[in-house]
Amino acid sequence: MKRSIALILLTTMLLALTATAPRGASKEPVRARHGVAASVNEIASRVGVEVMQRGGNAIDAAVAVGLALAVTWPSAGNIGGGGFMMIRRADGATEIIDYRERAPLAASRDMYLDGKGDVVKNASTVGYKAVGVPGTVAGLALALSRHGKLKWADVIEPARALAAEGFTLNHQTARGIQGSKDLLSRFPESNRIFLRSGKPFEEGDRIVQPELAQTLARLKEKGPREFYEGETARLIVDDMKANGGLVTARDLKEYEPAIRVPLKGTYRGYEIVTMPPPSSGGAALIEMLNVLEHYDLSRMGWNSSAELHLLVETMRRAFADRAEFMGDADFVKVPVSGLISKKYADRLAQTIAPDHATPSESVRAGKPTGYESTETTHFTLIDDEGNVVSNTYTLNNSFGSGVTAQGTGVLLNNEMDDFTSKPGVPNGYGLLQGEANAIAPRKRPLSAMTPTIVLKDGKFLFAIGSPGGPTIINTVLQIIVNIIDFGMNIQQAIDSPRIHHQWMPDSVRWEPLGVNSDTRAALVKMGHTVSDKPGYIGDAHGVMVEPKTGIRLGASDPRLGGAAIGY
């Protein structure tokens, strides 16, 4: 009797504590008065907070985090890759720095096909030929010069020091290195640095990266152009020449990031500010939100078979459109305005049956009108003034091409695999891609990276993004739905299990303990194919401003052990 009263009291107390919003057990977001940095790696998040505490703004801090992750999260943090940085200044002005890699000048449409026209296995994913011209250093430097307060030398110093003095590997970073052993062992420089020539690092080991420290020291002293025209460029190009890579001195010298205007949409009265081409992410996200607006998801219940069915049907259609229409809008026409129009969503919603799946075989891209334009990492920051950065960048696959350019300590991307090697043949993510994303010199490969900001009544509410190849788009989608439809706080919205469908292969992916067997059976009964085994999806990091108090809330994904740190 006493025990049951105690239980009731405890339950009532917990309910009272959490009464503001219906949510399951999840830790509270990090609360901070001034600023927050949320990333996959605690050391890097701390670098971001320290930069803000020293008087830097969110952009200064984001650049420092990006450079620090190149040291502490080598599987995806990088200076040898590329990405997208969305910046929303405190005055509301928003722009995107597009520092996506570009195809080298010597690249060509069929460069990964053999004499018979078949895709050569691993040609676009492993080794020197898979490398696109890196954009990270130029992109971070451009962000800093346009919006930062601190000097380049100040924001690069924490990364240099981490590379020179070393840091202790946590479980996740060590596991990442061990998981890529086969790839890294194929390239002598990567084998030596990350695998200690046969003695892979373990959790708790200290890793020092002297060549990377020297590269960062040169960049610190000579400025970001050093990467593209100085000793670092020379080392990269020499290594490329010696190993059949395509990136030349001219490719590096002529690399330029681009400034993009964000795509905008709405969802149930919230404004969605997101990533335009060369990412497919923003257009697909808005297209899916427009379709979901036709349904009362909260009445169906979170993770009910009815809600999951609608998510899958919506994802299926948006990914069919992605395969058909999406590419670098500087090179091909992408019907963005048609894809994100509410009218187009009305038509798509009419094709969705409430009680049974549409096989992907019978789903083809729609007819939008109005032509115009697994491993990655995301970090999000907000500062005291209210400047926000939502940044996703990548080497593409974990540790990219596997190549560390001789003498630089710089891991190089394998972003060329994000192009269409051959229409109709799946890439490394199992994605079917189309002619719009064919390889061409200087073109940017199609991305799924989706740094996104959500506003309410014109005011910043939250910012989010994730790695995960195509799963990025669906991760961001579900976090937005979790917050807007299901009233979750940003931490729980990130923590909650996700699903993924990408049209082809026609299979619903789900997370461990994420969809119970009853619900899976209900989905199968509706005609869905559900993958046999679960696996984790995405790794999101976000910030939010609590509307009533202005308190900054930070949330980091538990999936890879990240950290949100506030001050």
Q: Which of 290, 394, 406, 421 binds ligand GLY (CB under 6 A)?
A: 394
Do 473 and 281 contact (CB within 8 A), yes or no? yes
Number of residues that make up the chain: 567
**Inter-residue contact 117 to 86 (CB < 8 Å):** no
Per-position DSSP letters for 227-274, written without gaps between them? HHHSHHHHHHHHHHHHTT----HHHHHH---EEEPPEEEEETTEEEEE
**Nearest residue (CB) to ligand GLY, 71 versus 416:** 416
Between 127 and 230, name the residue whose CB sits nearer to ligand GLY: 127
DSSP letters of 404-471? EETTTTEE---GGGGSBSSTTS--TTS----GGGB--TTPPPPB----EEEEETTEEEEEE---STTH
- Contact between 489 and ligand GLY per CB under 6 A: no
Structure tokens at 230: 């100085």
Among 447, 466, 482, 496, binds ligand GLY (CB under 6 A): 447
Shortest distance, position 281 Cβ to ligand GLY, whole Å = 7
- Decide whether 136 or 341 has the Cβ nearer to ligand GLY: 136
Is residue 526 a contact point for ligand GLY (CB under 6 A)? no
Q: How far is the CB of 428 from ligand GLY (least distance, A)?
A: 9
Mapping DSSP to helix (H, G, I), strand (E, B) and coil, where does residue 67 land? helix
State which residue, 35 or 470, has the beta carbon closest to ligand GLY. 470
Cβ nearer to ligand GLY, comparing 366 with 451: 451
Residue 328 touches ligand GLY, criterion: CB under 6 A:
no
Query: Which residue's CB comes closest to ligand GLY?
Result: 447
Number of residues located near ligand GLY, criterion CB under 6 A: 8
Q: Residue 203 in 3-state DSSP?
A: coil
Among 67, 103, 448, 515, binds ligand GLY (CB under 6 A): 448
Q: Measured from the CB atom, is 248 or 475 closer to ligand GLY?
A: 475
Q: State which residue, 434 or 469, has the beta carbon closest to ligand GLY.
A: 469
Q: Of 20-28, 45-53, 125-133, 444-452, which part binds ligand GLY (CB under 6 A)?
A: 444-452
Q: Indicate which single residue of 314, 396, 401, 427 sits in contact with ligand GLY (rule: CB under 6 A).
A: 396
313 binds ligand GLY, rule: CB under 6 A: no
- To the query of whether residue 376 is one of the catalytic residues in this protein, the response is yes
Choose between 275 and 455: whose C-beta lies nearer to ligand GLY. 275
CB 380 within 8 Å of CB 69: no
Can the peptide bond before residue 210 be classed as cis, meaning omega within 30 degrees of 0? no
Rounded to the nearest whole angstrom, what is the least distance from the CB of residue 391 to ligand GLY in the complex? 13
- Asked if 417 and 431 touch (Cβ cutoff 8 Å), the reply is no
Our finding on whether 439 is near ligand GLY (CB under 6 A) is: no
Considering only residues 351 to 370 of the shown chain, the ones binding ligand GLY according to CB under 6 A are: none
CB of 448 to ligand GLY, least distance (A): 4
Residue 469 in the binding site for ligand GLY (CB under 6 A): yes
214 in Cβ contact with 409 (< 8 Å): yes
CA angle 209, 141, 67 (to 5 degrees): 25
Structure tokens at 191: 């084998």
CB of 449 to ligand GLY, least distance (A): 5
Does position 274 bind ligand GLY by CB under 6 A? no
Q: Rounded to whole angstroms, what are the CA distances from 558 to 74, 373, 380?
A: 19, 35, 15
- Residue 376 within binding range of ligand GLY, rule CB under 6 A: yes
Sheet of strand 36-39: strand arrangement: 258-260, 94-98, 82-88, 388-394, 376-382, 36-39, 563-566
To the nearest whole angstrom, how small is the minimum distance from the Cβ of residue 275 to ligand GLY?
Answer: 10
Single residue of 101, 307, 418, 557 touching ligand GLY by CB under 6 A: 418
Q: Is 449 a binder of ligand GLY (CB under 6 A)? A: yes
Closest by CA position to 383, among listed 52, 41, 150: 52
CB 451 within 8 A of CB 379: no
Minimum CB–partner distance for residue 419 and ligand GLY (Å): 11
Q: How far apart are CA 487 and CA 500, in angstroms?
A: 21
Give the whole-angstrom CA distance, residue 238 versus residue 248: 9
Of 233 and 332, which CB lies nearer to ligand GLY in the complex structure?
A: 332
Phi-psi category of residue 198: left, alpha or beta, with phi > 0 → left and psi -120 to 50 → alpha? left
For the CB of residue 543, give the shortest distance to ligand GLY in the complex, in Å.
22
Q: Which H/E stretch holds residue 184?
A: helix 181-184
Q: Report the amino acid identity of residue 65.
A: V
> Measured from the CB of residue 381, what is the shortest distance to ligand GLY in angstroms?
21
The smaller minimum CB distance to ligand GLY, of residues 163 and 449, is found at 449
Considering the complex, what minimum distance in angstroms separates the CB of residue 417 from ligand GLY? 8
Site stretch for ligand GLY (CB under 6 A), options 16-24, 245-253, 441-449, 474-482:
441-449
In Å, the largest CA–CA distance within the chain is 80
Stretch that binds ligand GLY, among 25-33, 210-218, 284-292, 447-455 (CB under 6 A): 447-455
- Work out whether 414 is an interface residue with ligand GLY (CB under 6 A): no
Q: Which of 248, 376, 452, 475 is catalytic?
A: 376
Residue 557, token pair as written in the block: 């994904």
Helix, coil or strand: residue 39: strand
Q: Give the residue numbers marked as catalytic.
A: 376
Residues forming the site for ligand GLY (CB under 6 A): 376, 394, 396, 418, 447-449, 469
